[in-house]
Amino acid sequence: MNDGHDCGSGRALYGWSPARLPADTPGKRLIDRILPASGAPVTLYYAAVIALLMLAPYLPKRAELAVDGLAALAAAAWCCANFWRCRHAHCGVTGTGWFALATFTFVEVGIGHSVIGGYEQPAFLGILLTGLAFEAYWYLTRGTNAVTRQRRPGAT
């Protein structure tokens, strides 16, 4: 079984992400074409999500919630695609968490107010920290930041 250390052609996200799995389906090839792997496109995508989060508090409540939801959805889409293609440990947590937050926030848009007291952005950051903590745990116990069934030789 391939443990992910030798698949793909190099590591993505400035060497932090595991290599992508082989693009053996049309869906995987499509994601590989549209999901930036490194460099300026990655930085711009992250900057766009951060800009949405920074803009949101200056808008009327419903628009603020919509922009927060859009930021969470954009982050979720990135992480879900990245988890599918690279198995990056934190993306399994953050992709799921941000998708749930986006869904929740869009429901709030529909009812016209925050039901968690305006804490959507702290929730966004909490999901990020939870994902990074999970990845740290995974790395310490498995010796890799890729979700695989195998442990790296020498990992505790």
Single pTM value for the model:
0.83
**pLDDT band at 155; cut points 50, 70, 90:** low
Question: What's the mean pLDDT when you consider all of the chain?
Answer: 86
The fraction of the chain above a pLDDT of 90, given in percent, is 65
Residue 109 confidence (pLDDT) above 60: yes
CB atoms within 10 A of CB 94: 29
CA distance 39 to 30: 19
pLDDT digits (tens, 9 = 90+) for 6-18: 333 444 444 566 7
The whole-angstrom separation of Cα 64 and Cα 4 is: 40
Burial class (CB in 10 A: 0-12, 13-18, 19+), 2: exposed
Domains of the chain: which residue ranges?
A: 34-142
From residue 45, give the alpha-carbon distance in Å to each of 41, 51, 75, 109, 144: 6, 10, 9, 24, 25
